[in-house]
Amino acid sequence: MNFKVACIGNMNNNMFSLVRYLRDFNIDATLFLLNNETEHFSPLSDTFDSNYDYIKKLTWGSNARKLFLPSTPGKVREDFKQYDVLIGCGVAPAFLERAGLKLHIFMPYGADLYSVPFLPARPITRRMPAKLILAYYQKRGIRHSLLTTAPVVVKCWSKAIETLGIKHYPILYPMVYCPQYNNLNFEKSSLQYSQSFLQIRSNYDVVVFNHSRQIWKTFIDDVSLKGNDVLIRGFADYVKRGTKKAVLVLFEYGIDVIESKKLISQLGVADSVIWMPKMFRKEIMFGLSLADFGSDQFIVGDGGGGTCWEVMATGKPVFAYFGINQEEFSALNMGKPFPPIVNVKTPDEIVNHLINFEKQPDYYKKLGEKAKNWYSYYMGKGLAEKYLYLVKTIAAGKEIVPKKLRFD
């Protein structure tokens, strides 16, 4: 059976990962970039290849006012007239709905699900009419989609899914294309920061890596908080109590960078912290490959985010807080078992693990290997096989069997 798949939008490089997995399965899949994709999440940031013949750029996506233009529906239909299965994120549901096209799989990254479809809780502005129109079409586009693969571990996600009433299979999405990073000897000449990371590794006995946004003091919403201060406090205590020369690698990324620097100074460990600039994923993944620990968030507690999965994909143990048990996690994630993480919530728990690392480094190395294997199956190739089943079933016009999307 020959068919073509269009993957629309590329926030967090989720679609780029999915497209590559599908193409590995000999599916004719194309990545369509909206015209507002940031450089940080461009395909270039997540690959060492130079072949981009399966990537196309769209002329729409950034401006909600384009939904008003008479020419927009025809343009959107023209873009996808040769494709049999449409997978989208971002504002793809709105533009496809305006064009009278059905989005088959809605693979949201977050705000496109729980924020864009709903009336913004902000004062009326001159731009509000366009936003209201976008919300209208986004809501209709999602509701008319065949299904969504969004997670339900975060309350605002599950509430949006319930409100929108869309068929839901929470298998998540393959954030990292593992074959790209399986070989730690991948070409380093194209990396701007490889030498910096190599020097850090050679200068310190213990390297703790945290590349999530610095957002712990300024409240935006329930989903965004990372609890970076928990890691900073735990690491600072370890520097004072441990016997090894340790470093915490952080990134100039997030609205609380200044607050984090103030806290680090107050704790007296500025000399043990290295700040790196915001960089491409391929640079981050190389740095992670040299670390002893990676880290995610310590406050949301409903499950892992992109940072957690990236750490696991490199085969490193990850500090993160999951406030749900094995049974709850499996129930919310189509039967997936609880991931092998270093489940911590407090600075004391972090420092205890770092001290234990001095005594039992092999235990944490094996934990990292287990994490990589878990990710490869449940969030990598194994997960991509679930999408393979979906696109084949949709292309054949058959009914989806939920049991085939489960992992147990």
For residue 218, name the pLDDT band (cuts at 50, 70, 90).
very high
Question: Worst-scoring range by mean pLDDT, 86-90, 216-220, 270-274, 401-405?
Answer: 216-220
Tell me the sheet residues that pair with 294.
318
User: How high is the pLDDT of residue 189?
Assistant: 55
User: How high is the pLDDT of residue 29?
Assistant: 98
Radius of gyration in angstroms for the set of CA atoms belonging to the chain, rounded to a whole number: 22
Structure tokens at 199: 């020097």
User: How high is the pLDDT of residue 125?
Assistant: 61
Question: Worst-scoring range by mean pLDDT, 107-111, 165-169, 185-189, 292-296?
Answer: 185-189
- Please name each of the domains of the chain with its CATH number: 4-168 (3.40.50), 180-378 (3.40.50.2000)
- Structure letter (DSSP) for residue 379: I
Q: Is the Cβ–Cβ distance between 189 and 261 less than 8 Å?
A: no
- Structure letter (DSSP) for residue 337: P
**CA separation for the pair 120, 138 (Å, rounded):** 13
For residue 184, name the pLDDT band (cuts at 50, 70, 90).
low
The count of other CB atoms within 10 Å of the CB of residue 109 is: 19
- Residue 188 identity (one-letter amino acid): K
Supply the mean pLDDT for the chain. Answer: 92
pLDDT by residue (tens digit) across 122-176? Answer: 555 666 678 888 999 999 999 999 999 998 777 788 899 999 999 999 999 999 9
Cβ burial of 304 (10 Å; 0-12, 13-18, 19+) is buried
User: How high is the pLDDT of residue 124?
Assistant: 54
Task: Write down the residue that tokens 């890691």 correspond to.
Answer: 231
The count of other CB atoms within 10 Å of the CB of residue 143 is: 15
pLDDT by residue (tens digit) across 16-64? Answer: 999 999 999 999 999 999 998 888 788 988 888 877 899 999 999 887 7
Q: Is the Cβ–Cβ distance between 39 and 33 less than 8 Å?
A: no
- Structure letter (DSSP) for residue 301: B
User: How high is the pLDDT of residue 79?
Assistant: 98
Proportion of the chain above pLDDT 90, given as a percent? 74
User: How high is the pLDDT of residue 122?
Assistant: 58
Predicted structure pTM score: 0.92
pLDDT by residue (tens digit) across 270-309? Answer: 999 999 999 999 999 999 999 999 999 998 766 778 899 9
For residue 234, name the pLDDT band (cuts at 50, 70, 90).
very high
User: How high is the pLDDT of residue 304?
Assistant: 76
Q: Longest Cα pair distance anywhere in the chain, in angstroms?
A: 68
**CA separation for the pair 325, 161 (Å, rounded):** 23
User: How high is the pLDDT of residue 359?
Assistant: 96
**CA separation for the pair 144, 140 (Å, rounded):** 6
For residue 120, name the pLDDT band (cuts at 50, 70, 90).
low
**CA separation for the pair 157, 160 (Å, rounded):** 5
**Closest among 338, 329, 333, 304 to 319, alpha carbons compared:** 304
Q: Is the Cβ–Cβ distance between 272 and 247 less than 8 Å?
A: yes
**CA separation for the pair 58, 202 (Å, rounded):** 45
User: How high is the pLDDT of residue 372?
Assistant: 96
**CA separation for the pair 269, 351 (Å, rounded):** 14
Per-residue pLDDT, averaged over 185-202, amounts to 80
User: How high is the pLDDT of residue 210?
Assistant: 98
Q: What share of the chain is helix, strand, coil (3-state, %, to 5)?
A: 45, 10, 40
E strands, 3-116, in order: 4-8, 28-33, 55-57, 85-88, 105-106
pLDDT by residue (tens digit) across 326-361? Answer: 898 898 889 999 999 999 999 999 999 999 999 999
